[in-house]
Structure 1
Amino acid sequence: MENDKMGRPLLTFQVITDTHITVDPEHEHNRNLARVLQDIAANGQGSRGIMHAGDMTDNGITEEYEAFYRIWNEYKDQVPALYITSGNHDICDNWQECMELFQSHTGMTGMYHDHWVDGYHFIFLGTEEGIGLHCTLSETQLSWLDAKLGDAASPDKPAFVFLHQPLKNTVAGSLEAQNWFGVTQDAELKAVLAKHRHAIMFTGHTHWELAAPHNYFDGGGELPAMFNAASTAYLWTDEDEHKDGSQGYYVEVYPGCVLVRGRDFERGEWVEEAQFKVSYPVL
């Protein structure tokens, strides 16, 4: 996608997910996180944030958070701020304790939280119970999301929403036959999002590679745009097979559109099949 003629973006950030950090410093997942941060340090000048859509750790234990931040601290002076939501791997069987660990280690203010960055709204949703692969969102959280998406809302300006699990039959991996959707309140969340089509939603969980079909869901005229953000740890294919690799997105906001650019962090290349443009205003 050509963006050199569009001038300087109003805002840039990166989206990563499913880092699955382990206690082994030589594990491929850990090495991949270092590659991601090296790539952003080299190519993300001016970025205002790294947005993490969950499964920061592999088992939600203190030692894995410590391993994550040992890697992070090597690059923190070269990369932008980190914003995180939880994934199912972060919320272990003792889910209340895991939620406390997530908040204490990441510094996030709750299981759902929002931030204004250079006048743009970033909203992070998260499970409020530990229920295996799925997430559960309370009525309070859904009402909060509705209010937050209505705050200073405009059809001309995007708001960005992050949740680990995708909604059913939206992005890659979430199709019914693929079986990696995972929001218990699927219909309720869709009903809220349908009222705020200026939003763009990023999810993880499926690990589906960015070259696969359906990574971008245009909303079908009823919902906001949605993106599968793959994984930095390892990938999955439409053939339902594991694939080594590490991918995510660079996002650039311009007047009238948002460019979402797939990045192969392992190869240091753009993913040609994953270059998308979301136009504004949303009608």
Structure 2
Amino acid sequence: MERRAVLGVAAGAVAAGATVAQGSAHAVERERGGGAGRRPVARFDVISDIQGDLADLRVALRDMARTNPRGSGLAVAGDITPRGYDAEYAQVRAELARQHVRPGDLAWAIGNHEFYVPKWRDPDTLAEETWPNGTTEDSLFRSFYRFAGRGSVYAEKLFDGIPVLSLGTEKYLHYHDPKLWDEVWLSEAQFAWLEDRLRYWSRRRRPVMVVSHHPLPDTVSGSRNALYQHDYVQAERLLGILGRYRDVFFFCGHTHWDLTLSDWYVRRVVPGTANPEGFSVVNTGAVQTGYRDDGKGGEVAVEGAFNQGLQVEVYRDRVRLRARDFARARWLKEITVPLSTAR
């Protein structure tokens, strides 16, 4: 069971033969400024882990409207709801409508909290000992599909011509193996689709934004912690696909780890992919509650107001990533990543 599930409702490393380069020669990090030059092709926002915190979602959306009033879209990297009830999805939809966010400008990824209805006998009664309390796996996916307005977990959106690919689990694995809970499982169809879309956009010299809730192992903040090392059942296969493309940007949430940490952005190099420069992996922070390393192999909550996300500017020759503190309305840091081929 994911370690913060009940609480949330009630209230450069080296992997096995793979290197992670932070602040490499191909990425320049600084606190403010930069990104001067031609106007961006697209400018969009990325958030994750709302988990029912509608007040902080409202703050984030209002801040985005100020800093990016003509934005290309908003990508949400999972944990849209605290549990996955239809009423919780409806609350998020209503808040977006109040802030005048159009459904067509949204790219959704599914998170583990979208599968937590089975832990509850009813919305007011936690009953983990009688999991799944009559809830079917299929009903959880149907709720997400109705909310997202599509018929699959994986999907493609275009933000002013820039492809945004959403990935996600196609099984809630505790239904299939009692030893597993929130791990991500991708079908052959999803892998084939991902390979096809990456090839397609690579031929057209477009950077590709990939949004998935869970972090890839040994990449950004928190992903080297034992809590997050095994989130993907097929991690090596997924890395092998993504690792072929220098201009892939992989955005992930789930950990809630603070964007002020130095490894909020890394480049992940995957051996055998003929891409020695790797691809970009970016932590999205979280709307609801922040965490950081506790120095003991676990994590501890960040004190004070916490509400973070990203703004992404795509130029013809580079991508600028900016970490934002929505609660304090200030930029935390940024990095500019050159693209392999200018469009």
Q: Which TM-score applies when normalising by structure 1?
A: 0.90
Aligned to 1:269: 330
Aligned to 1:150: 199
Aligned to 1:111: 153
Q: Alpha carbons of 1:74 and 1:177: their partners in 2 closer, same or farther (altered >3 Å)?
A: same
Aligned to 1:171: 220
> Is the contact between residue 35 and residue 266 of structure 1 (CA under 8 Å) also seen in structure 2?
yes
Gaps of 5+ in 2: 1-31, 119-135, 174-180, 270-275
Deviation at 1:80, TM superposition (A): 7.8
Aligned to 1:223: 278
1:14 pairs with 2:45: yes
Residue pairs, 1:1-283, within 5 angstroms: 1-3=32-34, 5-21=36-52, 29-76=53-100, 81-92=105-116, 93=118, 94-131=136-173, 132-154=181-203, 156-177=205-226, 179=228, 182-220=231-269, 221=276, 223-239=278-294, 240-243=299-302, 244-272=305-333, 275-281=334-340
Q: Give CA deviations for 1:46-90 in whole Å, capped at 9, x if unaligned.
A: 211000000000000011111112211111258982210100001
User: For 1:142, what is the secondary structure of its paired residue?
Assistant: helix
> Is the contact between residue 44 and residue 159 of structure 2 (CA under 8 Å) also seen in structure 1?
no
Deviation at 1:10, TM superposition (A): 1.3
Deviation at 1:45, TM superposition (A): 2.0
Q: Percent identity?
A: 28
Cα distance in 2 between the residues matched to 1:4 and 1:189: 31
Gaps of 5+ in 1: 22-28
User: For 1:277, what is the secondary structure of its paired residue?
Assistant: strand
Q: Give CA deviations for 1:94-134 in whole Å, capped at 9, x if unaligned.
A: 33211100010221341111123322211110110113222
RMSD: 2.1
User: For 2:93, what is the secondary structure of its paired residue?
Assistant: helix
Cα distance in 1 between the residues matched to 2:201 and 2:91: 38
What code does the residue aligned with 2:48 have?
T
Q: Alpha carbons of 1:19 and 1:127: their partners in 2 closer, same or farther (altered >3 Å)?
A: same
Cα distance in 2 between the residues matched to 1:174 and 1:256: 29
User: For 1:126, what is the secondary structure of its paired residue?
Assistant: coil
Cα distance in 1 between the residues matched to 2:110 and 2:262: 26
Cα distance in 2 between the residues matched to 1:91 and 1:179: 18
Cα distance in 2 between the residues matched to 1:149 and 1:174: 24
- Higher mean C-alpha deviation, range 169-178 or range 123-132: 169-178
Aligned length: 274
Deviation at 1:171, TM superposition (A): 1.0
User: For 2:64, what is the secondary structure of its paired residue?
Assistant: helix
Cα distance in 2 between the residues matched to 1:188 and 1:117: 27
Q: Which TM-score applies when normalising by structure 2?
A: 0.75
Q: Alpha carbons of 1:62 and 1:89: their partners in 2 closer, same or farther (altered >3 Å)?
A: same
Q: Give CA deviations for 1:229-256 in whole Å, capped at 9, x if unaligned.
A: 0101111112211124010000001121
Q: Give CA deviations for 1:153-210 in whole Å, capped at 9, x if unaligned.
A: 1495311101101111011111144536511110110111122222111001010010
- Higher mean C-alpha deviation, range 110-119 or range 29-38: 110-119
Over 4 Å off, 4+ runs? 77-80
Cα distance in 2 between the residues matched to 1:178 and 1:217: 19
What code does the residue aligned with 1:3 have?
G
Aligned to 1:24: none
Bigger CA radius of gyration: 2
